[in-house]
């Protein structure tokens, strides 16, 4: 392979003398590192390289058996800033002039395939020839058309299909090729078919899907510019499905269509098509800025002119968006459903990547060619690389991933902008920042529906001022929780969360919509410039860095077809993409892409880490860029601020040559927590610059979080205080309002979609919520294709993993070894039964499990406890009685509809021994068995009455207290949640005691943790089953108004009706906290409301009492705590269980110092050995362990790379038991120092 790397800054200058490192990989049961190539960019930013391929490669299933080579390319400039991309190239056999091309590039077995034979001359000219093809001992003939193409229909039936093709032209020239295609006949397949390959905006593509699955769903992903523009799920009936894709003005250019099905195995099978869509040419738009290049903060005018096909001016509505080009260059790492696929494959340690794309420039210049020619040409194309960029820090990766969602917030931002302006005109003042959004809704300036994100959560407005004269729109993301890791902001998701606090990599102050005359953002910038008006030597301050700064949905041209847009340029040094769409009253359409460039010849930038901790010492890098036509002496000044101390000189001088890039460092010590700004000025002989960026400083303490939940009727008053020793300014209080049961289930659904792993128990526990969630979303028609496909794939993975635990001869065990376990087998039986409602499984697994369970039954109708348990210390009480396993197995058999003699004998045994069942957990299992088999019998009613009598009453709730560990060895509150959930489920299924059910569900809802789940996966499974069961018999008529008061001040007013009753509503009360706090929540109208108050705060580490004997201890040792930038430090971790026995499913949360990167290869080596999986966030490394025994500590090691000069506190490390989170061990922070 030979290639050239072109490295350019987004402001248009080359990266000169950049250090280039290229690491090559081939794939063979994981990526195998092959070589490292180094080089340096020249004065044009170019670097040439060559690489000799390895001798062999292994093909990939998704990529139809072709192999590929991956090149990870990293370039570091002279300011020590680095960027990374991954490129892949397909590795194939020699290309012949006679080619056999299946539609889509791959042969699909058991389906009728279109197979094209292409005959070309050496110069590429098409050849009209007679073609004879032999396939599977069948002979067919045809003649190529004027494009050199012949078409045949073939249905492959075997694992290998060989085509023997001969062709002869009119001159007697001939050629022969023998082409074999390997297929997987024991796996479902899909073909996506489209009529042609070239289209026009306004047309439709009639997609046809053929699958070997007779029923199910196909997931369709439409990709443009590596960003998803549409996702859709299509029903399959009798192996076929159809979908009409309407080509709207935003779907133009090179379009990739991916169709996916989920197989009963662990793979997703995909078929891909490419098409080219010509933009609408009814209207022609020209965009003419008044300058070729603008300075940051400069005023500009952009002239738009619209004409029709007759060159006549047209009155049209223009939609204009101006977005930083960097957003498109480093957009979301995985678009739409591809993101889901690659996320899953990464998690199951089977990384599969796409291969580079091909831009067929010649064919797309023509309006159309021929249907067959278009399909053949595009069948050979490969989808573009879905991993375009890797980043230096996790924060940057998160920033760029979330950036792809920015467009979803634009419409909301513009609606709020219009409402703010109308409010200002009527009140001569801006809405207050504290309750501005609800005020705008309450007073009718803004529709509630306009500020709801794609996950049906209300946006939040962020500002640092007292009024909404400028603001940022924030989405809570899929989990509905603000200030969590999936939050998305309109500047592309620069937000991040560390220790529950929201962080931003840089200050972003977007305007309240497009810049128009009179918009207050201009006033703010003018005011800022006025601060330095009397100081001619002071450079202008750059602080406004949006990624989208214009979204104008309706710019109307005049009779001359012209419209002007006045703008004030942002402060980013970059190229801006201008996207313009036009539509006339006659329905004519047009679109165009253009650009604006913002640049200055000398500028500086601040490279900040994700976050800092109070007390950290760090050297802040300041990058210097000089593109003046001369050398310049620079004086760089860091402006002092109350939140940090400058440890050395606050001024540094440097000399920069023409076209030079350099870096200086300012050592500081962090003093105050919160969200702060840093300002740097650089004074030059000819040009100067100043810049301000923001960063969050975290408290140096341990975070605590608790929850208070209750039913909301009339007016509820709660007093909330905080411990006296909490760290100031590190407290938060969030109010969540749930209109009913639906909203309880909707909250946090995406967070419950976890990847199965571990033993049989863990796999079932993590897979089950996916089944319940998918069933609920389909029933209520709320499913999104991405969520549906994710859930189905997780279920598929869990299903295959569960099958691996089946013991020869029947039944299931912890790890698939004999003997099988009755309780686990019954648990699996119920899951398989529920799974069959949402996912196609082999029904024989249910029959085998049923027969094995029946063979284990005793003559008296009981099932004996299993003699061998992995978690024996938690199951000792179960060993003493046949009642619990009998009830559990009988319930499982009854749940699938079995009414055989075995089930009747089991009920008889339970009836005879009912008086011995004194524990509520056991009695709840018995009740479920009776309800499943004889829901209306007299004995069932007696059991239910006995169960109700065991309920504990506490105020207006009921719950059942378990005296034994649950089947998942959960104790205390977790066991009570499981017992209560089981009791409620039995009562719901019986249709009796609705008041008791309501109070039991209230207890479950009150027992949620701050994340919206029930502490453990097993508790979540049981609670969700109860809530989903309750949905079947409940209808919620919601029409009410909720008012929130705090300390006597009205904070929020919410209208809830059928349109928003199925979502959780959240109110942030943090800004209104005082020493003592009284919260009054009032609901008037119809509905069954619940609420939660989530309190969070920090306690200094030095004030935390150490437990005398913690359940765990964790020791984290760095091989050195003083090192230099780019050094690697090895970290050794030792975890010990202090109580006798074994702790199952243990989580380890390891702190990462600021400015460090985890070197994942050291962790990859431990996967499947010492650890199950791991995940990395900007400030923590989370490791999942199967177990920790008191007999031997678990020892791990990994490596970190230092990126910044810093002296800082490493975030504390923690180990805890998954099923009992209160059992933990904590390692206090360690100090580490990095020098240049």
pLDDT digits (tens, 9 = 90+) for 795-807: 877 777 787 788 8
170-184 mean pLDDT: 85
CA–CA gap between residue 736 and residue 1067 (Å, rounded): 6
Instruction: Tell me: pLDDT of 859 over 70.
Output: yes
Residue 899 has pLDDT above 50, yes or no: yes
Alpha-carbon distance values, 1195 to 122, 685, 1116, 1184 (Å): 63, 58, 10, 13
- How many Å apart are CA 467 and CA 431, to the nearest integer? 6
User: How many other CB atoms are there within 10 angstroms of residue 249's CB atom?
Assistant: 17
Please give the average per-residue pLDDT across 886-901, as a whole number.
Answer: 94
Which position has the higher pLDDT, 490 or 637? Answer: 637
Q: What is the pLDDT of residue 1185?
A: 82
615 preceded by cis ω (within 30°)? no
Q: In terms of domains, do 1008 and 1048 share one? A: no
User: What sign does the CA torsion over 6, 377, 384, 180 have?
Assistant: negative
Question: Residue 693 belongs to a domain with what CATH number?
Answer: 2.60.40.10
Beta-bridge partner residues of 538: none
Per cent of the chain over pLDDT 70 is: 79
| Confidence (pLDDT) at 355 | 20
* Side-chain-side CA neighbours of residue 1051 (13 Å): 20
Q: Determine the pLDDT at residue 361.
A: 40
pLDDT band at 892 (very low <50, low <70, confident <90, very high): very high
CA distance readout (Å), 821 to 23, 115, 243, 782, 852 = 49, 51, 47, 38, 10
Partners of 1181 in beta bridges: 1150, 1176
708 or 1168, greater pLDDT: 708
In a domain, 402, yes or no: no
The answer as to whether 1217 is a domain residue is yes
Residues forming beta bridges with residue 909, ordered by sequence position = none
397 alpha-carbon distance from chain centroid: 12
Query: Averaged over 634-658, what is the pLDDT?
Result: 94
Quick check: 1130 pLDDT over 80?
A: yes
Beta bridge partners of 198: 276
State mean pLDDT over 1169-1194.
Answer: 79
* pLDDT value, residue 754: 44
Q: What's the pLDDT band for 307 if we cut at 50, 70, 90?
A: very high
Q: Is the Cβ–Cβ distance between 549 and 322 less than 8 Å?
A: yes
- Average pLDDT for residues 155-175, to the nearest whole number? 89
On whether the CB atoms of residues 1151 and 1178 are closer than 8 A, the answer is: no
Place of tokens 């180990």: 1215
Give the domain CATH number at 176. 2.60.40.1930
Residue 394: is its pLDDT beyond 60?
Answer: no
Average pLDDT of the residues in 636-655: 94
Farthest-apart Cα atoms in the chain, separation:
99
User: Of 988, 1012, 1032, which residue is a domain's last?
Assistant: 1032
The pair of structure tokens assigned to 12 is 């248009």
What's the total number of domains in the chain?
7
pTM, rounded to two decimals:
0.54
Give 730-759 pLDDT, tens digit per residue: 889 999 888 876 666 655 444 444 434 556
Please check whether residues 781 and 928 belong to one and the same domain.
yes
Judged against a pLDDT cut of 90, whether residue 960 lies above it is answered with yes
Confidence band, pLDDT 50/70/90 cuts, at residue 491? very low
Q: What's the token pair of residue 684?
A: 């030059």
- Say yes or no: 110 and 164 in one domain: yes
Residue 601 above 70 pLDDT?
yes
For position 661, what pLDDT does the model report? Answer: 92
Average pLDDT over residues 970-984: 89
Q: Is residue 191 part of a domain?
A: yes
Within this chain, do residues 1065 and 1170 fall inside the same structural domain, yes or no? no
Q: What are 552-600's pLDDT values in tens digits?
A: 878 899 999 999 999 999 999 998 989 888 888 877 778 888 999 999 9
Q: What is the pLDDT of residues 437-483, one digit of tens each?
A: 888 888 888 887 778 776 667 888 877 667 777 677 887 765 567 76
Out of 303-317, 1158-1172, 1205-1219, which region has the weakest mean confidence (pLDDT)? 1158-1172
Higher-confidence residue of 629 and 1037: namely: 629
**Domain annotation covers residue 934:** yes
Please name which of 229, 923, 287, 919 lies closest in space to residue 578, comparing C-alpha atoms.
287
CA dihedral 1167, 1171, 1175, 1178 (to 10 degrees): -110
CA-angle at 468, arms to 1075 and 460, nearest 5°: 70
Question: Is 404 a member of any domain?
Answer: no
Whole-number pLDDT of residue 717: 94
199 with 126, same domain: the answer is yes
CATH of the domain at 1143: 2.60.40.690
Q: Is residue 445 part of a domain?
A: no
The token duo for 932 is 């499943």
For 789, the domain range is 743-1032
Q: Are residues 952 and 1003 in the same domain?
A: yes
Work out whether the CA dihedral 124, 125, 126, 130 comes out positive or negative: negative
Q: Which two tokens stand for residue 729?
A: 């300014």
Once rounded to an integer, what is the mean pLDDT over residues 377-393?
41
Is the same domain home to 1084 and 1131? no
Has residue 235 got a pLDDT over 80? yes
As a whole number of angstroms, the distance between CA 644 and CA 680 comes to: 14
Lowest mean pLDDT among 136-145, 266-275, 286-295, 342-351: 342-351
Q: What is the Rg, in whole angstroms, of the alpha carbon atoms belonging to the chain? A: 33
Higher-scoring residue by pLDDT: 225, 84:
84
476 lies in a domain? no
Helix axis angle for 883-895 and 844-855, nearest 10°, is 150
Of 131-135, 256-260, 740-744, 746-750, the one with minimum mean pLDDT is 746-750
SS3 assignment, position 155: coil
* Band (486; pLDDT cuts 50, 70, 90): low
Distance CA 702, CA 972 (A): 24
Q: Is the pLDDT of residue 907 over 90?
A: yes
- Give 970-976's long-range contacts (Cβ < 8 A, gap of 24+): 970/1016, 970/1018, 970/1019, 970/1219, 970/1220, 971/874, 971/1220, 972/1220, 972/1222, 973/1007, 973/1015, 974/1014, 974/1015, 974/1016, 974/1018, 974/1019, 974/1219, 974/1220, 975/921, 976/1007
Q: Domain with 1048 in it: what CATH number? A: 2.60.120.1540
Quick one: CA dihedral 499, 505, 511, 514, positive or negative?
Answer: negative
Q: Which of 868, 866, 872, 900 is nearest to 886 (CA)?
A: 866
Residue range 137-147: average pLDDT? 89
Residue 109 to residues 101, 188, 687, 718, Cα–Cα distance (Å): 15, 9, 67, 65
Token pair 């962790």 is found at 1163
| Both tokens assigned to 351 | 């990384």
Please determine, for residue 813, whether its predicted confidence score (pLDDT) is greater than 60: yes
Decide which of 598, 623, 649 is a domain's last residue.
598
Do both 736 and 747 map to the same domain? no
Band (pLDDT 50/70/90 cuts) for residue 787 is low
pLDDT of residue 15: 92
- Give the pLDDT confidence score for residue 192 in this predicted structure: 94
Q: Which of 91, 108, 132 is the last residue of a domain?
A: 91
Q: Can you list the alpha helix ranges (DSSP code H) found in 542-688?
A: none
For residue 1174, report the phi and psi dihedrals to the nearest 5 degrees.
-145, 160
For residue 36, give the 3-state DSSP assignment.
strand
CA distance 1063 to 738: 7
Q: Is the bond preceding 819 in cis, omega lying within 30 degrees of 0? A: yes
Percentage of the chain beyond pLDDT 90 is: 30
> Do 816 and 896 lie in a common domain?
yes
CA dihedral for 1148, 1153, 1157, 1161, sign (positive or negative)? negative
Nearest-angstrom CA–CA distance, 259 and 239: 14
Asked whether residue 310 falls in the same domain as residue 269, the answer is no
Query: Per mean pLDDT, which range of 188-192, 304-308, 372-376 is the poorest?
Result: 372-376
CA–CA separation, 315 and 1184 (whole Å): 62
264 and 292 part of one domain: no
| Within-domain flag for 1142 | yes
One domain, residues 995 and 1116? no
φ and ψ at 1191, to 5 degrees? -80, -30
Give the separation between CA 295 and CA 573, rounded to whole angstroms.
Answer: 9
Q: Identify the three-state secondary structure at position 872.
A: helix
Question: How confident is the model at residue 1062, as a pLDDT?
Answer: 67
pLDDT at res. 510? 27
Q: What is the pLDDT of residues 518-561, one digit of tens each?
A: 233 333 333 344 444 444 468 999 998 888 888 887 889 999 99
The full DSSP string for 934-947 is -TTSHHHHHHHHHH
Is residue 405 predicted with pLDDT exceeding 60?
A: no
Residue 867 has pLDDT above 70, yes or no: no
Q: Considering only 83-87, 315-319, 1174-1178, which range has the smallest mean pLDDT? A: 1174-1178
Most confident range (mean pLDDT) of 603-612, 849-858, 1139-1148 is 849-858
Q: How large is the average pLDDT for residues 841-866? A: 89
Q: pLDDT at position 452, please? A: 78
Predicted confidence at residue 500, as pLDDT, reads 31
């Amino acid at each position: 392979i030979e290639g050239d790397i072109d490295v350019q800054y987004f402001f248009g200058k080359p990266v000169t003398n950049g250090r280039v490192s290229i690491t090559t990989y081939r794939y063979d049961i994981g990526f195998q590192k092959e070589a490292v190539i180094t080089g340096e960019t020249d004065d044009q930013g170019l670097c040439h390289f060559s690489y000799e391929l390895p001798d062999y490669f292994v093909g990939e299933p998704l990529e139809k058996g072709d192999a590929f080579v991956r090149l990870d390319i990293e370039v570091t400039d002279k300011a020590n800033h680095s960027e990374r991309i991954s490129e892949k190239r397909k590795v194939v056999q020699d290309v012949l002039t006679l080619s056999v091309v299946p539609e889509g590039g791959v042969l699909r077995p058991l389906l009728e395939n279109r197979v094209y034979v292409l005959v070309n001359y050496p110069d590429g000219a098409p050849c009209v020839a007679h073609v004879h093809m032999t396939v599977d001992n069948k002979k067919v003939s045809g003649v190529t058309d004027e494009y050199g193409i012949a078409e045949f229909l073939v249905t492959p039936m075997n694992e290998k299909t060989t085509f023997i093709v001969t062709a002869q032209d009119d001159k007697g020239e001939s050629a022969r090729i023998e082409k074999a295609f390997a297929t997987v006949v024991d796996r479902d397949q899909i073909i996506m078919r489209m009529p042609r390959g070239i289209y026009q905006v306004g047309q439709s593509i009639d997609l046809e899907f053929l699958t070997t699955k007779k029923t199910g769903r196909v997931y369709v992903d439409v990709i443009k510019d590596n960003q998803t523009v549409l996702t859709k799920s299509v029903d399959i009936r009798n192996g076929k499905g159809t979908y009409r894709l309407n080509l709207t003005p935003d779907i133009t250019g090179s379009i990739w269509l991916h169709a996916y099905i989920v197989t009963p195995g662990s793979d997703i099978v995909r078929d891909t098509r490419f098409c080219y869509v010509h933009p609408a040419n009814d209207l022609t738009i020209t965009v003419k800025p008044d300058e070729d290049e603008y300075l940051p903060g400069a005023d500009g005018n952009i002239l738009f002119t619209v004409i029709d096909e007759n060159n006549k001016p047209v009155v049209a509505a223009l939609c204009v968006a101006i977005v930083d080009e960097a957003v498109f260059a480093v957009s979301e790492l995985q678009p739409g459903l591809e993101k889901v696929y690659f996320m899953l494959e990464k998690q199951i340690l089977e990384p599969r990547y796409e291969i580079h794309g091909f831009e067929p420039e010649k064919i797309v210049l023509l309006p159309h060619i021929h249907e067959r020619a278009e399909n053949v040409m595009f069948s050979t194309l490969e989808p573009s690389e879905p991993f375009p960029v890797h980043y230096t820090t996790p924060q940057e990766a998160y920033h760029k991933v979330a950036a792809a969602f920015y467009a979803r917030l634009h419409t909301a931002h513009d609606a709020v902008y219009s409402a703010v302006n109308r409010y200002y005109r009527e009140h001569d003042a801006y809405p207050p920042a504290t309750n501005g959004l609800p005020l705008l809704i309450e007073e009718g300036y803004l529709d509630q529906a306009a500020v709801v994100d794609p996950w049906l959560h209300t946006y939040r407005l962020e500002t640092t001022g007292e009024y909404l004269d400028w603001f940022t729109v924030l989405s809570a993301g899929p989990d509905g929780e603000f200030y969590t890791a999936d939050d998305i902001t309109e500047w592309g998701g620069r937000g991040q969360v560390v220790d529950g606090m929201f962080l931003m990599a840089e200050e972003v102050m977007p305007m309240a919509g497009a810049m128009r005359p009179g918009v207050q953002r201009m006033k703010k910038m003018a005011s800022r410039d006025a601060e330095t008006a009397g100081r001619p030597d002071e450079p202008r301050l750059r602080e406004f860095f949006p990624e989208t700064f214009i979204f104008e949905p309706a710019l109307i041209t005049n009779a001359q077809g012209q419209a002007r847009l006045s703008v004030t340029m942002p402060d980013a040094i970059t190229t801006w993409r201008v996207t313009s769409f036009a539509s006339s009253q006659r329905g004519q359409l047009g679109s165009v892409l253009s650009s604006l460039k913002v640049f200055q010849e000398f500028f500086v930038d601040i490279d900040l880490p994700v976050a800092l901790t109070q007390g950290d010492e760090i050297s802040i890098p300041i990058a210097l860029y000089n593109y003046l036509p001369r050398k310049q002496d620079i004086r760089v000044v860091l402006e002092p601020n109350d939140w940090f101390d400058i440890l050395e000189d606050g001024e540094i001088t440097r000399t920069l040559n023409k076209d030079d890039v350099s870096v200086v460092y300012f050592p500081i010590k962090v003093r105050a927590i919160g969200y702060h700004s840093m300002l740097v000025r650089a004074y030059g002989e000819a040009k100067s610059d100043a810049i301000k960026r923001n960063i969050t400083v975290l408290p140096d303490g341990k975070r605590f979080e608790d929850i208070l939940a209750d039913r909301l009727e009339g007016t509820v008053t709660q007093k909330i205080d905080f411990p006296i020793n909490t760290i100031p300014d590190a407290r938060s209080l969030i109010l969540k309002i749930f209109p009913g049961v639906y909203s309880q289930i909707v909250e946090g659904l995406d967070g419950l979609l976890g990847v199965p792993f571990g033993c049989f128990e863990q796999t079932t526990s993590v897979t089950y919520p996916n089944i319940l969630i998918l069933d609920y979303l389909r029933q209520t028609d709320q499913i999104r294709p991405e969520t549906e496909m994710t859930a189905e794939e997780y279920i598929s993975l869990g299903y295959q993993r569960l099958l691996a635990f089946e013991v020869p001869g029947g039944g299931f065990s912890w790890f698939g070894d004999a003997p099988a376990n009755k309780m686990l087998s019954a648990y699996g039986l119920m899951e398989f039964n529920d799974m069959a409602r949402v996912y196609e499984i082999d029904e024989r697994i249910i029959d085998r499990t049923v027969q094995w369970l029946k063979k284990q039954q005793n003559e008296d109708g009981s099932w004996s406890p299993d003699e061998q348990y992995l978690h024996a210390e938690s199951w000792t009480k179960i060993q003493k009685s046949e009642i619990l396993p009998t009830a559990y197995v009988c319930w499982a058999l009854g749940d699938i509809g079995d009414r055989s003699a075995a089930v009747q004998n089991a009920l008889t045994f339970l009836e005879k021994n009912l008086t011995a069942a004194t524990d509520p957990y056991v009695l709840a299992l018995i009740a479920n068995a009776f309800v499943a088999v004889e829901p209306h019998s007299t004995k069932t009613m007696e059991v239910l009455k006995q169960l109700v009598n065991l309920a504990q009453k506490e105020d207006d709730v009921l719950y059942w207290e378990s005296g034994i560990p649950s089947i998942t060895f959960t104790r205390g509150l977790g066991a009570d949640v499981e017992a209560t959930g089981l009791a409620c489920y039995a009562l719901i299924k019986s249709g009796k005691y609705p008041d008791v059910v309501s109070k039991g569900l209230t207890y479950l809802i009150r027992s949620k943790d701050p994340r919206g789940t029930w502490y453990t996966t097993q508790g979540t499974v049981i609670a969700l089953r109860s809530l989903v069961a309750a949905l079947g018999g409940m209808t919620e008529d919601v029409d009410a108004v909720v008012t929130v008061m705090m300390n006597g001040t009205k904070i929020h007013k919410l209208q809830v009706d059928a349109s928003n009753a199925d979502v959780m509503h959240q109110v942030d009360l943090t800004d209104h906290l005082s020493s003592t706090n009284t919260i009054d929540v009032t609901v008037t109208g119809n509905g069954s409301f619940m609420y939660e108050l989530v309190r969070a705060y920090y306690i200094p580490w030095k004030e935390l009492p150490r437990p005398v004997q913690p359940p765990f201890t964790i020791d984290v040792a760095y091989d050195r705590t003083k090192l230099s930038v780019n050094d690697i430090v090895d970290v050794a971790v030792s975890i010990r269980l202090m109580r006798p026995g074994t702790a199952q499913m243990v989580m380890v949360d390891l702190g990462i110092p600021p400015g460090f990167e985890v070197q994942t290869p050291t962790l990859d080596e431990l996967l499947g050995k010492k650890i199950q999986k791991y995940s990395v966030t900007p400030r923590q490394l989370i490791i999942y362990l199967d177990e920790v025994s008191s007999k031997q500590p678990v020892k791990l090691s990994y490596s970190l790379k230092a990126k910044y000069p810093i002296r800082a506190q490493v975030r504390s490390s923690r180990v805890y038991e998954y099923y009992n989170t209160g059992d933990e061990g904590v390692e206090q922070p360690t100090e580490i120092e990095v020098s240049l």
